[in-house]
Structure 1
Amino acid sequence: MAIRRILTIDNAADLGVLKQVSKPVDAVDDGVRALMDDMLETMYDAPGIGLAAVQIGDLRRVVVMDLGDGPPPADVDPAADGEEVRVPNPRFFVNPEVLWASDETYCYEEGCLSIPEYFDEVERPARVRVAYLDREGQRIEEEIEGLYAVCFQHELDHLNGVLFIDHLSRLRRDRAMSKVRKTMRLREDA
């Protein structure tokens, strides 16, 4: 496993890659699983909760996600110290798609590893029925909602060359670009 560089919107070449539509995966094989392992390690290192392959420059329709919503181990009392226990629950999606979306919407303040330190509210369908191949290549269909649905749709957008700021007004999108450029300059100077 390896930590890969995450492409960011302040770099014109990176932005050009991020705006491309990713290609379907023919089969989930060891090469795709190795890519998913690298993506997961990269996402945890960043840290983030979702990552599309295009964000590390690979134009295959692959996404990893971990919302920390796994079942707590039997020997851990999740309410012992009053803090929520975040239990790893890595998920893997190959060729993900939305089959159906609810008319009901949900607003969530989204962020993105390719748009560092910028967050804004995006309105998306509250529930979606999705299909994808899992880590073993098995087709899964499920109806999802809440943060899981938001993250799935956010990452699927990446595979289609769409960034979450593309859902914002031009003014808010320009503000995001400006803030990210400033953030990245400060990182370089540090």
Structure 2
Amino acid sequence: MSLKVIKYGHPVLRKKGEKVTRVTSEIKQFIKDMFETMYESRGIGLAAQQVARAVQITVIDVRGITDRPSTLELNGKPASVEKFMPLVLINPEVKPVGPKVAGTEGCLSFPEIFAEITRPETVDVVAMNENGERIEFRAGGLLARAVQHETDHLNGILFIDRMDTETKQELKPELEELQARTKAELKKSKE
């Protein structure tokens, strides 16, 4: 079932997600619904907060993105990104290991808004997968960027928080309009 992607201005986007202690059938269904929503929205990542649930779950799939390569290492050896996708991260912990690089980012909760964001190029990740098993890997390139972007969401941090001041000023009118529209929709739905 496709879920509604909430937009900037919705308070749950600023909530830190609760840890998931066990993967229940309800959580597995939620993960399926998140993937369906992400694919339908043509995204490469989606965090639970973006569908109005403050829990530590994100889904990622960078297959098919050829202009921004991804790298993956499992147990210190290069591995196939394609075979590792689609990816579910529950309670992820992300540690930067590489130098920082700038790259363009967008977000399903910020339609049509893109900006250069500087993040570590490579990260080590420890998380639980959809079966409740511990997974560990090193990600680089677009995969590393997607993991960091989605993990930020799980902690109530938005990509606009990572923008430089100049970029944020340039985007201020669009951000304010999006926020006002979202707040108006929320108010209307409560009436």
Q: TM-score range by the shorter chain?
A: 0.7 to 0.9
Q: How many residues align?
A: 165
Residue 102 of structure 2 is aligned to residue 107 of structure 1: yes
SS where residue 23 of structure 2 aligns? coil
Match of 2:54 among 56, 59, 67: 59
Residue 32 of structure 2 is aligned to residue 37 of structure 1: yes
Q: 1:52-131 alignment to 2 at 5 Å?
A: 52-68=47-63, 89-98=85-94, 100-131=95-126
Q: 1:117-156 alignment to 2 at 5 Å?
A: 117-156=112-151
Q: Is the 8 Å Cα contact of residues 69 and 87 (structure 1) preserved in structure 2?
A: no
Aligned partners of 2:126 and 2:6: how far apart in 1? 27
Aligned partners of 2:16 and 2:159: how far apart in 1? 15
Code of the aligned partner of 1:160: N
For structure 2, list consecutive stretches of 5 or more residues without a partner in the other structure: 66-81, 186-191
Q: Is the 8 Å Cα contact of residues 94 and 133 (structure 1) preserved in structure 2?
A: yes
Task: Report the CA distance between 1:174 and its aligned residue.
Answer: 4.3
Residue 19 of structure 2 is aligned to residue 20 of structure 1: no
Aligned partners of 1:141 and 1:89: how far apart in 2? 14
Comparing 165-174 with 153-162, greater Cα deviation is found at: 165-174
TM-score, normalised relative to structure 2: 0.78
SS where residue 91 of structure 2 aligns? strand
Distance 1:104 1:88, change over 3 A: closer
Task: Report the CA distance between 1:144 and its aligned residue.
Answer: 1.0
Q: Is the 8 Å Cα contact of residues 69 and 88 (structure 1) preserved in structure 2?
A: no
Q: Is the 8 Å Cα contact of residues 117 and 183 (structure 1) preserved in structure 2?
A: no
Q: Is the 8 Å Cα contact of residues 28 and 94 (structure 1) preserved in structure 2?
A: no
For structure 1, list consecutive stretches of 5 or more residues without a partner in the other structure: 71-85
